Structure 1
Amino acid sequence: MFQDISLEELLQKHKEGHTFIDVRSPKEFMESTIPGSKNIPVFTNEERAEIGTIYKQISPEAARERGLKIFSQKLPQFIAEFKKINTPMTVFCWRGGMRSKTAATVLDLMGIHANRLSGGIRSYRQWVVRELEKGDFPPELYVLNGYTGSGKTILLKKLADAGYPIIDLEEMAGHRGSIFGQIGLEPSNQKKFDSLLVEEIHRFHEKPFIFIEGESKRIGKVVLPEFFNEKKEKGVQFFIHLPIEERIKNILADYEPWKYPEKFVEAFQYIKKRIHIPIAKQIEQALQDGDFQAVTYLLLTSYYDPRYEYSISHHSMGEQIMIEATNVDDAFEQLLSYLSNIN
């Protein structure tokens, strides 16, 4: 017989090579789950919608009967997915209800042991909210600032490869933080972002410092918790200065606008009215010609750089360290030099 476990027990198992399986529909899984979980759904998105309609329009009993018929037809495939997992496992659904109970019961009948999370992912979400409300985060934040294209994300990855703790807020948000920032990415919603942030906060809780990018409070569809944003403002501020040619090169390598030309044209319409008309026309022409180097230069000099200068002039910040570099590699070496001097 399967065993129900509490969220506290589950979080402890997170550290012990344990597999979490979300048996909700793919759509629910994409919206929010426990980080690191695997999705083996009892029902597809369409099947869940059908059963929900039957539940509301006919009866709960009719919905259960339809659900049983659908699930019984896919049992061999469902079991086969679980047989691929060679670690202890825990299944969960939204509230620890029928879907996770059905999954755990069927697995038990087939000789596959799986725990079930009591309270489902709802209990996990409540825990995430409580953790964010605590605002308990002792490490100091080292914040990488700079004009658009200064290679801040590249520097974060280099620092991570060198063994330094980093939190990549843009990666967790699924957004680069600009009007074009969602292109080619899958934006996160607030629930997903909160879960990932709490995960990282716990992972680095005992570190003396953590590197992040100097993001605004809102990144795409998500908003930083107030305590984290305040901690960011008071952190050590590194300002990376690169030649504009290097910044353009970094932007083009990151965004690859030639892959999504129509999306860049569409996104530009949102900021067009904020740019001097003759420059806006030049940008539109360059977009039409596929001259993304010219587009990037014009956007930086006429829109992003002035906005950035205005933003930093209206914010009080902690200690500030300027890094004048020829390229990202040079900036990275200067960061390492700074770190070696404080250790």
Structure 2
Amino acid sequence: MFQDITVKELLELQSSKKITLIDVRSPSEYKDSTIPGSLNIPVFNDEERAEIGTIYKQVSVDAAKELGLAIMSAKLPNFVKQFKEIEGDKAVYCWRGGMRSRTAATVLSLMDIHVNRITGGIKAYRKYVLDTLEQKSLDADAFVLHGLTGTGKTAVLRQLQQEGYPVVDLEGLAGHRGSIFGHIGLQSNNQKTFDAELVERLKQLEDSPYLLFEAESKRIGKIVVPDFLMKKKESGAAIVLELPMAERVRQILEDYNPAAYKEQYLAAFQLIKNRIHTPIAAEIGKSLEEGRFAHGIQLLLEHYYDPKYNYSFSQYEDSAPIVVAVDRVEEAVEAVKDILRSRMRHKTGA
């Protein structure tokens, strides 16, 4: 027989053993939000779920259950086979820990495949995430990466994260670069996914003596950054990256790839063109239209992004930022490493 466990019990089990989480909701529900790291083995696909829902509303509950049983019966062999291929402990869940997860767990139990079932489902997990973020405070020191657009802040952070540094990549979690052009070429996450991924990342770093993240605004696209991180940004040690204009333009071309998404960039530019002096805006638009992206980007930096950033940074509390002036992003990575090592040695007295 399967065993019911709460989200709290799941977290306690995960601290001592590996548990494979299986979301048995439909693919579109899974895509919208899930528990990070979960697999999707749906009891019903999107079309089947919609059909059952229609019968439930227009005919009766019993008729919907009968249709669900017929659909499930036909796919049982493959459903069970997928679970058999997963080694170790497993836990299944659906939206509220109801019919779908109970059906899956019961069928698997009959086939001698033991699973746990998460009571409350993804709804209970979402409550845990929101409660965690509401009550969260960070005791670890913070190093906050600042710099004009194109100074490679994200590239530096991601390289450091690959090397095992305690980075919280807020743009990566949001699936958005933070500017009016920030969504282009990316799969943006919704707030639910961002929140869940953030909680998981902070859990991974809870024993780190410091955290490293970028100086984001309160909003990254449609994502809202929690207040405790914004407060940490204001109180953290500021590291300001400075790169030559030519390198900044090169970095933006590499990160944003405007040649591949020309029409989308032109459309996004229309949203901010009225904030730029008319002759300059016209030249930027013409440059983008003609594929002279480097020239257009430099004008955008000089006449829109740099003045906007300089005003924003002038409001920042840290009066003594650590300035890293280098020629290449690769040099910035090494410089930030040196700063972190030096600060940590000083703090520990080593």
Shared topology, TM-score over 0.5?
yes
Q: CA deviation at 1:318?
A: 6.8
Residue 316 of structure 1 deviates from its aligned partner by 2.3
What letter is aligned with 2:260?
A: K
Q: Please tell me whether the aligned partners of residues 135 and 228 of structure 1 are also in contact (alpha carbons under 8 angstroms).
A: no
Separation in 2 of the partners of 1:319 and 1:25? 52
Query: Does the aligned pair in 2 maintain the 1:261–1:287 contact within 8 Å?
Result: yes
Asked if structure 2 preserves the Cα contact closer than 8 Å seen for 1:235 and 1:318, the reply is no
Residue 212 of structure 1 corresponds to: 213
Distance 2:278 2:46 in 1: 46
Amino acid at match of 1:8: K
Structure 2 CA distance, aligned partners of 1:286 and 1:319?
A: 38
Give distance in 1, aligned partners of 2:212 and 2:315.
23
Contact 1:32 1:191 in 2 (8 A): yes
Give the equivalent residue in structure 1 for 2:158: 157
Q: Is the 8 A contact 1:166 1:211 kept in 2?
A: yes
Q: Unmatched 5+ residue regions in structure 1? A: none
Residue of structure 1 in register with 2:180 after alignment: 179
Residue 28 (structure 1) shift: 1.2
For residues 86-165 of structure 1, the aligned pairs below 5 Å read: 86-165=87-166
**8 A Cα contact 1:235 1:319, kept in partner:** no
Give the structure 2 partner of residue 245 of structure 1. 246
Which ranges of structure 2 fall in alignment gaps of 5 or more residues?
Answer: 346-350
Q: d(CA) in 2 for partners of 1:25 and 1:302?
A: 47
What is aligned with 2:321? 320
CA distance in 1, matches of 2:281, 2:63: 59
Alignment check: 8 A CA contact 1:21 1:90 kept:
yes
> Which amino acid letter does the alignment assign opposite residue 4 of structure 1?
D
- Give the secondary-structure state (helix, strand or coil) at the position aligned to 1:142: strand
The answer to whether the Cα contact below 8 Å between 1:180 and 1:267 also exists between their aligned partners in 2 is yes
Residue 173 of structure 1: how far off its partner (Å): 0.3
* Pairwise CA distance, 1:92: 0.3
- Comparing 79-88 with 149-158, greater Cα deviation is found at 79-88
Partner of 1:337: 338
Q: Shift of residue 331 of structure 1?
A: 1.5
Query: Which moved further from structure 2: 312-321 or 27-36?
Result: 312-321
- Aligned AA for 1:305? D
Which stretches of structure 1, 4 residues or more, deviate above 3 A after TM superposition?
none
Q: Which amino acid aligns with 2:230?
A: N
Q: Distance in 2 between matches of 1:69 and 1:296?
A: 58
Matched with 2:49 is 48
Give the whole-Å Cα distance in 2 for the aligned partners of 1:318 and 1:216.
19
- Contact persistence 1:275–1:303 (CA under 8 A): yes
Q: Is the 8 Å Cα contact of residues 34 and 121 (structure 1) preserved in structure 2? A: yes
> What's the RMSD between the two structures over aligned residues?
1.4
Q: Does 1:296 align with 2:278?
A: no
SS at match of 2:137: coil
Matching residue of 2:3: 3
Alignment: residue pair count: 343
TM normalised by structure 1 equals 0.96
> Can you list the C-alpha shifts for 1:224-245, whole angstroms capped at 9, x where unaligned?
1111111111111100000011
Identical amino acids, percent of aligned pairs: 52
Indicate conservation of the 8 Å contact 1:233/1:318, yes or no.
Answer: no
In structure 2, the residue matched to 1:201 is 202
Counterpart of 1:331 in 2: which secondary structure? helix
* 2: CA distance, partners of 1:3 / 1:274: 59
Match of residue 28 from structure 2: 27
The residue type equivalent to 1:286 in the other structure is: S
The normalised TM-score by structure 2 is 0.94
Partner of 1:274: 275
**Shift of the alpha carbon at 1:247?**
0.8
Report the alpha carbon displacement of residue 13 of structure 1 after superposing the two structures with TM: 2.9
